[in-house]
Amino acid sequence: MPEFVTVAAVEDIPPGTGRTVEVQGVWIALFNVDGSFYAIDNTCPHAGGPLGEGHLDGLLVQCPWHGWRYNVQTGKRPENPDITVACCPVRIEGNQVLVALPENFT
């Protein structure tokens, strides 16, 4: 069972925004989509761009370096679903956002 770590308060990440958080020494991109929170690997597989700093449009985040987009719910790239970023489980406890690294996270 993955270990959940508190990474932010709900109010720290308004709807339609994201930020980069650290979970057990790994940088994760955390997003609030209309009150639902999603976490993915912060590193874009194209050139290593920081996805947590990207523009969020609905469920899609655009890498700020070269524009590659990823679905924050599934980790898939809409233009090529074979390219993905890892997704992390998220849960809310009170007003705290908790994220865990999946066991197979690289």
CATH number of the domain enclosing 84: 2.102.10.10
Counting the structural domains of the chain, the total is 1
pLDDT at 2: 78
Query: Residue 21 falls within a domain, yes or no?
Result: yes
Q: Which among 95, 103, 78, 85 is positioned nearest to 11, based on CA atoms?
A: 95
Count Cβ neighbours within 10 Å for each residue of 35-61 and write b for 16 or more, e otherwise: eebbbbbbbbbeeebebbebebeebbb
Domain extent at residue 81: 4-100
Residue 106 lies in a domain: no
Q: What is the pLDDT of residues 53-85, one digit of tens each?
A: 999 999 999 999 999 999 999 999 999 999 999
Q: In this structure, is residue 77 part of a structural domain?
A: yes
DSSP 2: P
Let me know if 95 is exposed, middle or buried by CB neighbors in 10 A (0-12, 13-18, 19+): exposed
Residue 65 bridge partners (DSSP): none
What pTM does this model have?
0.94
